[in-house]
Structure 1
Amino acid sequence: MDASTTLPMAMIDTATALADWVLVLPIVLCLIGAAAELVLRRTRVMPLIVAVVVTLAVIACEIGLLVRVAAEGPLSMTMGKWLPPFGISLTVDLFSAAFALAAAIVTLIVLIYAEADRTKSGARDDFHAMVLLLLAGVTGAFLTGDLFNLYVWFEVMLIASFGLIVGGNRPLQLDGAVKYGFLNFLATTFFLMALGLLYGLLGTLNMADIMRVAPLAHPGAMAGVAALLLLAFGMKAAAFPVNAWLPASYHTPPAAVSALFAGLLTKVGAYAMLRALVAVLPGSRDLLEPALALIAIATLLIAPLGAIAETSLRRAMGFIVIGGIGAIMAGLAMPSSDGIAGSGLYILHAIFTMSGLYLAAGLVEKGTGASDTLQMGGLYAASAPISILFLVLILAAAGVPPFLGFWPKLLLLQASLAEGVTSSAPSWVGLTLTLSLLVNAVLTLIAGTRLWAHVFWRSAPVAMTVTVPPSRGDRLGVAATSFLVLAVVLAGLWPAPLMEGASAGAADILDPARFVAATGLAEAMP
């Protein structure tokens, strides 16, 4: 995009630079790949090859995009010839580029993991097409600079995820699909209502343009729109009290699909809250701060209690995922540099860790032939590697050092302590969030180690037949899970680049001047 003009309504009169196409190429590759998969789905090997090649190409594009954003700042590309707010923009900063790259890496790992479970009867389904379509929706949601386009990508994600959750046609999957679909359709309806009100108030849905004109609108009306957005994105992210659909549905599809959902879908909802409430509508976020704090506290405390009470392995994982959403929302309730950096880094950590947890759970369920921990036991002697992978991921989810999950929680604790204890005017929000984050870590550790003890440490039931160590196909799943665990461990041992990147990303969220400038609207700011 040529941003040299000072008139936001001007037409673009120069060709888009070749390097700028890297913003849209990941989405285009996913959509073309999904279409190709539908043509090739009757073949035996080609769907996997196409899916892996497309995902590798997306990863390569997003590595280049992340490097460029880190060096130059936020970038924007506008579709058509009209500059914003009339042209629809893809606008990317450090957070969105990093999240899109992490999503593509997890998708590649899941594709490899899922191959171990693919049967001849399942070789002709639409699994790979749906995965690429889901990645297109996730990538588009991370890279868009327009709220209506964000709604469109949410719908793409919903269609793909619904196709994945019903694949197999088992009654349990259909039951999970109804619960998943109803609540998510309701969330998108609230989102669409908020967009209609926002367009009526401001006449624009471009994020950068909203930042420009929102301060001129009625604060009460804008707070109402922000509350609707909070409700919609809170349902997508599975924040309390609109979180019951997640543990009721994420355990129903195959483990590979559950891993994709846990790593990507709720994180897009959390990212949307971060972008819309902190960067786009900061004034309205300030009015909603007490509500954000209460939601974060309730989510932090209630979710791990649900995990402790559960005996179903993957349902318990769902509550651990929800607890992480509480940590992300804690940063939204404390819009300081450390708070937003902690939320952003937690999203990145959760994409890898929560996906890995579900992949490890799939290995356990496959080895034991059971899904309830009351019917499991003795797997440590049968497969020590799987037990180690599972334990590392549990410790990372709880925020135990030196794993990746420790560092975002450290940033969040620094932010909450600064607001609730060490500031000149201590607030109940900071102090209560500090205690809630600590209690969440302890409860998550209790829930996770309880699961580990039941599955691996105690004696196996007499009737249980353990089929691990794994077969050749299962070793592929172990290798894929090990890659995610290795990433969590290495990032935790060498956190400096991620911490610096999180701080830089938080700076662009709190002061989006560079984000606005990338679209060409900086000169029109009031």
Structure 2
Amino acid sequence: MASPTPASEVPMGMLDILTPASDWVIVLPVALALMGAAGLLMFRRSNGTPLIGALIVVAGIIACEIALLLEIVANGPVSMTMGKWLPPFGISLTADLFGASFALAAAVVTLIVLLYAEIDRAEADGRDAFHSMVLLLLAGVTGAFLTGDLFNLYVWFEVMLIASFGLIVQGNRPMQLDGAVKYGFLNFLATTFFLLALGLLYGLLGTLNMSDIMRVAPAANPAAMAGVAALLMLAFGMKAAAFPVNAWLPASYHTPAAAVSALFAGLLTKVGAYAMLRALVAVLPASRELLEPALALVAIATLLIAPLGAIAETNLRRAIGFVVIGGIGAVVAGLAMPSLNGIAGSGLYIFHAILTMTALYMVAGLIEKRTGATDTRQMGGLYAASAPISILFLVLVLAAAGVPPFLGFWPKLLLLDAGLAQGVTGSTPGWVGTAMVLALMINAVLTLIAGTRLWAHMFWRAGPEGQGGEHAAATLVAFDGRGRLAFGATALLVAGIVVVGLWPGPLMDQISIGAADIADPARYVAATGLAGDAP
């Protein structure tokens, strides 16, 4: 679709593909985030103004995305192309239920994290442009979820990388700089692979519009397209931190402030997982079939190895980083079993992980604030002093492991159903379904072991490692007003996760519709005005 143009200037045959005024809501979330990021730079020296401004901007983004989601539910995918260059030549923003739902979830957790971040911010921190960089990060994440063009996706990855690099180095501690180098190098490498894949894809097809690729890719050389798909799998796998290209995440996510870690865990790897889902299942399904054995091996290895890393780790946020990686294995499992339930399970897991992994890092920040330590061996005695925090952490561990009836159970149930169905039907390769079911179940057990081990060390034990149970609990830091605000924000997010887990029906219904649009993207293509065109 094209941007609105006076009817007198448009040929009659084009009037039916002009963008309705209501569809402009697709561009407003990105525009508000970018303008807000630029505007807050001018007020960063004014105490309180950046926070209030950022909250207002994100609230506006949430309102726009709710309107966008309602429009998609009512009328199907929405598309808008900038300027008068119609698809496939113009840069399109195209949103279906998956993209709009993930963008809304990202904006909601960003709003909550902005409140939570006040726990670590002093009055003199106004010059660091923290709130501007958060909005810039949200702009990149939202653009990546809503774009309909692969080159535009590359641009939004770059926006995310710039903003996240600025956030990870705030504080200038040696540990942060070390984490930034590891994070930056591997993500620049992933971006290079992505750009290489785009160049090859454009050379093969002459287009980077996702809808147009869906039309013309079947006529291209299958071997060449499989090579492009493998490059995309590698690039997006690095962005998502799938095994074996995941070492950068636990080496970097624990180095910045807890609020920044929470944003990174909830948003960045999920964009990589979503890009892999969109590119391999919807855009290049034939090439995905050739890569199915590789996807299955990556999924199984990620599901099994990541929670073992969490069990072996003593640093709290590094351990949670391995839990984040294990969840990516669940998303890749759905790509290896692309039935409707498999796709729905992957999509629902991304939605769940945006909320749950953000909340896990937020609780970890509260624990570190109260104990003054980052290593679980130096923690203890929190259960009696902070029972609410212990409850929040345990609920999130159960959700991450997929224990019913918490939110993480429902995507794993869909994935298990997809794996069992694939094993029964004997699809090619026949071992994928059975192996995936076993890996998902083992992952749930290992994640539960890792999480409850952390819980026992931090809450059940009376004091730091080496002290007997009869010793007095370690001295804990009391929360001030900012700490209570951070706790309230965390409790609000956890409460939302519990409510959605207990009442998953509406969400699962919409995820199923979104999965159908990924498996059969006819409505997605029609939204761009390309349906029915000959390749």
Q: TM-score range by the shorter chain?
A: over 0.9
**Pair 1:197–1:147, CA change in 2 (3 A):** same
The alpha-carbon distance between structure 1 residues 3 and 157, as it changes in their structure 2 partners (threshold 3 A), is closer
Post-superposition offset of 1:16: 4.0
Q: Deviations over 1:362-418 (max 9, x none)?
A: 000010000000000110011000000000000000000111000000000000010
The whole-number CA distance in structure 2 between the counterparts of 1:352 and 1:467 is: 28
Task: Classify the secondary structure of the residue corresponding to 1:391.
Answer: helix
Q: 1:30 to 1:12 in 2, by over 3 A?
A: farther
Question: 1:81-129 CA deviation, whole Å, 9 max, x = no partner?
Answer: 0211111110000000000000000000000000122112312211000
Does residue 521 in structure 1 map to residue 530 in structure 2?
Answer: yes
Following superposition of structure 1 onto structure 2, how do residues 3-402 of structure 1 map, counting pairs within 5 Å? 16-402=19-405
State the shift of 1:425 in Å.
Answer: 8.0
Q: State the one-letter code of the partner of 2:523.
A: R
Give the Cα separation in 2 of the matches to 1:330 and 1:302. 14
Is the deviation greater in 381-390 or in 118-127?
118-127
Q: Distance in 2 between matches of 1:24 and 1:112?
A: 25
Question: Does the aligned pair in 1 maintain the 2:81–2:91 contact within 8 Å?
Answer: yes
Aligned partners of 2:3 and 2:80 also within 8 Å: no
Paired AA for residue 442 in structure 1 = V
Do residues 486 (structure 1) and 489 (structure 2) align?
A: no
Whole-Å separation in 2 of the counterparts to 1:525 and 1:256: 49
CA distance in 1, matches of 2:3, 2:35: 29
Report the CA distance between 1:496 and its aligned residue.
0.5
TM-score (norm 2): 0.95
Structure 1 residues 333 and 13, CA gap change in structure 2 (3 angstroms): closer
Q: Deviations over 1:199-239 (max 9, x none)?
A: 00000000000000000000000000000000000000000
Letter in 1 for 2:268: L
User: Residue 293 of structure 2 aligns to a residue in which SS?
Assistant: helix
Corresponding residue for residue 477 of structure 1: 486
Q: Secondary structure of 2:33's partner?
A: helix
* C-alpha distance in 2 between matches for 1:64 and 1:398: 33
Distance 1:499 1:13, change over 3 A: closer
The letter of the residue matching 1:106 is V
Counterpart secondary structure, 1:442: helix
- Say whether 1:498 aligns with 2:507: yes
Give the % identical residues: 75
- Give the whole-Å Cα distance in 1 for the aligned partners of 2:144 and 2:395: 30
154-163 or 421-430: which moved more?
Answer: 421-430
Instruction: Give the deviation of 1:464 after TM superposition.
Output: 7.5
Q: Who is 2:521 aligned against?
A: 512
Question: Structure 1 residues 472 and 465 mapped into 2: Cα distance closer, same or farther (>3 Å)?
Answer: farther
CA contact under 8 A between 2:380 and 2:474: conserved in structure 1? no
Letter in 2 for 1:498: L
1-structure distance, mates of 2:494, 2:108: 13
Of residues 431, 453, 462, the one that matches 2:456 is: 453
* Deviates further, 454-463 or 182-191: 454-463
CA distance in 1, matches of 2:361, 2:422: 35
Letter in 2 for 1:487: G
Aligned 8 A contact 1:368 1:464 in 2? no
Letter in 1 for 2:509: E
More moved, 359-368 vs 475-484: 475-484
Q: Distance in 2 between matches of 1:382 and 1:186?
A: 45
Partners of 1:2 and 1:12 within 8 A in 2: no
| In 1: Cα distance, 2:240 partner to 2:438 partner | 23
Report the CA distance between 1:12 and its aligned residue.
Answer: 7.5
Q: Aligned letter for 2:108?
A: I
Is the contact made by 1:3 and 1:518 (CA closer than 8 Å) also made in structure 2?
no
Q: TM-score, normalised by structure 1?
A: 0.97
Letter in 1 for 2:463: A
Q: What letter corresponds to residue 364 of structure 1 in structure 2?
A: I
Aligned letter for 1:253? P
The 1:15/1:291 distance shift into structure 2, 3 A limit, reads closer
- Contact kept in structure 2, 1:11 and 1:83, CA below 8 Å: no
- Kept in 1: contact 2:2–2:83 (CA 8 A): no
Match of 1:124, SS state, is helix
The DSSP-based 3-state class of the residue aligned with 2:120 is coil
State the 1:37 CA deviation: 1.1
User: How far has the Cα of 1:523 moved from its partner?
Assistant: 1.7
- Does the Cα contact within 8 Å between 1:11 and 1:81 map onto a contact in 2? no
1:90 maps to a residue whose letter is L
How many Å separate the matches in 2 of 1:17 and 1:422?
45
Q: Residues 420 and 429 of structure 1 are in contact (CA less than 8 Å); yes or no, is this contact kept in structure 2?
A: yes
After TM superposition, give the deviation of residue 13 of structure 1 in Å: 9.5
**Rounded Cα–Cα distance in structure 2 between residues aligned with 1:40 and 1:121:** 14
CA RMSD in angstroms comes to 1.9
Structure 1 residue 423, shift from structure 2 partner:
5.1
Change (3 A) 1:51 1:167: same
Q: Cα distance, 1:277 vs. partner?
A: 0.2
Alpha carbons 1:141, 1:154 under 8 Å: kept:
yes
1:520 partner SS: coil
CA distance in 2, matches of 1:322, 1:149: 26
Aligned amino acid, residue 439 of structure 2: S
| Contact 1:342–1:412 (Cα < 8 Å) also in 2 | yes
AA at the equivalent of 1:494: W
Partner Cα distance (1:468, 1:420) in 2: 53
Relative to 1, partners in 2 of residues 1:11 and 1:156: Cα closer, same or farther, differing over 3 Å?
farther
SS of structure 2 residue aligned to 1:106: helix
- Pairwise CA distance, 1:3: 10
CA contact 2:310–2:322 (8 Å) conserved in 1? yes
* Distance apart, 1:2 and its partner CA: 5.7
SS at match of 1:325: helix
Q: 1:197–1:225: 8 Å Cα contact kept in structure 2? A: yes
Distance 1:471 1:391 in 2: 24
Shift, 1:14, TM fit: 8.1
Q: Which runs of 5+ in 1 are unaligned?
A: none
Check whether the contact 1:13–1:81 (CA below 8 A) recurs between aligned residues.
Answer: no
C-alpha distance in structure 2 between counterparts of 1:525 and 1:368, whole Å: 64
